[in-house]
Structure 1
């Protein structure tokens, strides 16, 4: 039924035109913004996911800054450690020269002193933004490493930063010291006696090492007539058991730094014994030591049932206030002006070189780790950006084609509406 009051055809045509205009507006918005999801009203779920991922991408930019700062700090430390290794190599050359009898040891000592001062200068200058990875003498747990923000981890509880620990490797020459009072002293946590068996082991596997904890190696030799060895050279205490007071002045001791293991402590004690042995002309046949893990193997080719050497490992807790020495502490005692001093320096220089090369290698490994993490974070960020683009970016080729289609539909809808609006005028012609 036709009516001049109600034009259903025009209403339908108008609704169609309005829908097409709305679609055209959406497509034009996509083309102008480049996004198919520009706000939460476009697609709430997709918009929320995209915003979360965009926040993660921004977070990774800050992570990259942290990694770059850490990498620069490590680069400075590595170059300094390599320089120190070169300087120690030069010192080794002078030490070897000093082994001769017809050389001017005073001048050699002066050269060694200059190189030693240069090493100290390098250690002091090897800092970046106030952080020096070549200094680690604080007797505080956790002070032996620095945290570098490495990446972000998202789980059910939210987002958290995950740090990469960078280990400090001390190459200073400061002297360690055992406090005269305080702390908890434990005598003979490990002990052994060399007699006719002529071998033994100091096993410290049950000892827990903490930063600032002091260790002493006590030797008590018995040879009343000095026929096998000089008793005074191998007797550090008045009795076989070391006292708390005697530990303060122990000839062989080590104060652990943060990060040290039992193996590190045993190695350092053996190095200090070797220095003592060289200074006091104690032959390896009389007493020798080898560090192996958490133990020290000791041996003698001269002990028997009456001429014995008793050894004990003693500890003092960190709360005594012990002083942590530098990683190259033994270098400060080099004095090649005497034969025994030259011998001592020769026995110690290889260990110091190992300390420096291990430090340089460790810094290099840490630097490579940060570079690898940086590269991975870059790839991860690119993948996240691509994912965000897939979710919210508009396909401009598709949008352009859709716009042309909708514009044609718009023209047709306008014509259809015009025809529908002309229907009442046709009805008026019936009454003429």
Structure 2
């Protein structure tokens, strides 16, 4: 039965065209944004997970920047400790030299005093952005946030701690050495110098271990951040090859649906031939 009031074919064609247009619009959005999940209406579960992971990734990046500053401070302290160690080694050698016969100990003492001044200068310069890890007044434990973890109680920060070193105490002991005293005291001065040398070597080693630990943690955080970003990408990024193929298909379907609607709209005109 044909009707001039209700064109069922046109209604079906129009419904098909609407579906095609909706699909085409959605595909165009994915192509233009590069995202298949851009809001909660696209995929609520993926959107929630991806937003949480993006937040974690951002926090890890910020934490890594903070560790970079601490690492630079530790590296500066290590360099200062190594310099103190080198100068202490020179002082030990000069004290050993002073034990020889015919040595002008006053000249050796001048050398020791100059080396002690150099040591103090190195200590005073062993700071990064005003952060001091080598002087007596700065002694203590340093805590560094190196990550986050999520649990039943919520999100908490993980921390890495290390102790500072006291290069000033080493310098003070070395500055007090004297080779102008009677020869019987030179053995004691040499023993003191060697003890302080060992302490300087220990300080440099300690700072080197801390620096290496921070460097390893930073590398891990960088890899973890890359993994999080990759996980987010796999959930929300659009497959551009697939979307390009889908876009072409929708464009063809749109043309066919439009043509079909046009044909359906012409059907009532055929009824006129019955009245001729």
Both proteins in one fold, TM over 0.5 = yes
Q: Which residue does the alignment assign to 2:200? A: 356
Question: 1:328 deviation in Å?
Answer: 4.9
Query: Structure with the greater relative contact order (CA < 8 A, sep ≥ 6): 1 or 2?
Result: 2
Q: Which residue does the alignment assign to 1:392? A: 236
Q: What is the number of equivalent residue pairs in this alignment?
A: 275
Supply the distance in 2 between the matched residues of 1:67 and 1:137 (Cα, whole angstroms).
23
Answer whether contact 1:169 1:359 (CA < 8 A) is retained.
yes
Supply the distance in 2 between the matched residues of 1:415 and 1:116 (Cα, whole angstroms).
95
SS at match of 1:38: coil
Alignment of 1:45-64 (within 5 A): 45-64=45-64
Supply the distance in 2 between the matched residues of 1:327 and 1:151 (Cα, whole angstroms).
35
Question: 1:405 deviation in Å?
Answer: 1.0
Answer whether contact 2:37 2:236 (CA < 8 A) is retained.
yes
SS at match of 1:406: helix
Q: Which residue does the alignment assign to 1:105? A: 105
Q: Which residue does the alignment assign to 2:74? A: 74
Among residues 119, 143, 146, which one is paired with 2:142 in the alignment?
Answer: 146
1:160 aligns with 2:156: yes
Q: Which residue does the alignment assign to 1:418? A: 262
Question: 1:420 deviation in Å?
Answer: 1.9
Question: 1:101 deviation in Å?
Answer: 4.8
Answer whether contact 1:136 1:168 (CA < 8 A) is retained.
no
SS at match of 1:100: coil
Question: 1:329 deviation in Å?
Answer: 4.5
TM value normalised by structure 2: 0.93
Question: 1:41 deviation in Å?
Answer: 2.2
Supply the distance in 1 between the matched residues of 2:70 and 2:99 (Cα, whole angstroms).
43
Alignment of 1:19-418 (within 5 A): 19-137=19-137, 144-172=140-168, 326-338=169-181, 339-418=183-262
Structure 1: segments with no counterpart, 5+ residues = 173-325
Question: 1:332 deviation in Å?
Answer: 3.8
SS at match of 1:152: strand
SS at match of 2:149: strand
Answer whether contact 1:334 1:341 (CA < 8 A) is retained.
no
Question: 1:39 deviation in Å?
Answer: 1.8
SS at match of 2:167: coil
Q: Which moved more, 1:92-101 or 1:28-37?
A: 92-101
Structure 2: segments with no counterpart, 5+ residues = none
Supply the distance in 1 between the matched residues of 2:134 and 2:251 (Cα, whole angstroms).
71
Q: RMSD value over aligned CA atoms? A: 1.7
Q: Which moved more, 1:156-165 or 1:2-11?
A: 156-165
Answer whether contact 1:150 1:161 (CA < 8 A) is retained.
yes
Question: 1:390 deviation in Å?
Answer: 0.7
**Deviations for 1:141-163, whole angstroms, at most 9, x for unmatched residues?**
xx512222322222233333322
Question: 1:137 deviation in Å?
Answer: 4.2
Supply the distance in 2 between the matched residues of 1:116 and 1:340 (Cα, whole angstroms).
23
